[in-house]
Each structure stands twice: as structure tokens, then as C-alpha cells.
Amino acid sequence: MTSHRIAGAVLVGMLALLVPACGSGASQSATTVAVIPGPYDFDYTIPLGTAARLARGEDIEVMPNELTAALGQTIRIVNLDTKSHEVGSWYVLAGSTLTYRFVSIGTFVGVCTTHPSGQFTLTVTN
């Protein structure tokens, strides 16, 4: 594993801890982040060239602008692009994969660089 990928995995893990702390205002405790095995309830791939297509003004949609998930469900975002992307509270480094299990109920709103609206809203229910 290259140092770039190791640094990316560490950053993705640290950012995944931020999701429960944002938006709901409820007190949450941090948990250890690990790669979550599939299958995944939500599975998205950011294709190679996504950033370039967006820069040319193409109207593409990789992720939905709103996602509703149940507590305990999982998501995987594979970034095949050469550019890192923001998806809500997550920062998915170029060439990396983010996996996450939803552990906090609430609504989380953030930037989405893979959607024409530029925003991503995640709602996690019980």
C-alpha cells in the first residue's frame, strides 16, 4: 500500500467519525472506524473523469442529492476519479473507497461535488 493510499485511508477514517457529530445536536461518542464488509445497502461509484466533465459544465449525477437510510445500514462510495470529492460530511480521496455504517439518527447536510445541485442531504432514521 502506498503512503498516499495509507494517508487517504487515515483521512477517510477520521472524516467518517465526523458524520455523527454534525447536524443533529445530540451528544455522540466516537467509535473506531474500520472497513465495513459488503454487501452494501447503498453503493455508488464516482467514475474516472467526473471532475473534468463537471468543469466542462456537463450536467451529471453520480450521487442523489438526498438519501434516506435506516440506522445500521451501510454505504460504499468508490472514487475512481483523479480528483477527490465531497459528499455531504465525507471527503472521498481520489482513487479511494469510503465505507460507513450509519450509527446516528439525524439529518446531515453538506456539499456534494458529484451532483449538479452541489448539495447532499442524508437523513438517518430509526
Which alpha helices (H) appear in the chain, and where do they start and end?
3-18, 50-55
| Cα-based torsion angle of the residue sequence 122, 50, 113, 44 in order, rounded to the nearest 10 degrees | 10
Work out how many domains the chain is built from and give that number. Answer: 1
What pLDDT is stored for residue 1 in this prediction? 42
Q: Which one-letter DSSP state was computed for residue 37? A: P
Residues 6+ apart with CB under 8 A from 38: 74, 76
Q: What is the 3-state secondary structure (H, E, C) of 86-110?
A: EEECEEECCCCEEEEECCCCEEEEE
Range of the domain at 97: 3-125
As a whole number of angstroms, the distance between CA 11 and CA 2 comes to 14
**How does strand 42-46 pair with strand 74-79?**
parallel
CATH number of the domain within which 102 lies: 2.60.40
Spell out a b/e string for 68-106, using b for 16 or more CB atoms within 10 Å of the CB, else e. Answer: ebeeeebbbbbbebebbbbbbbbbbbbbbbbbbbbebeb
Q: What is the pLDDT of residues 97-108, one digit of tens each?
A: 999 999 999 999
Predicted model pTM:
0.72
Query: Residues of the chain whose pLDDT is less than 70?
Result: 1-34
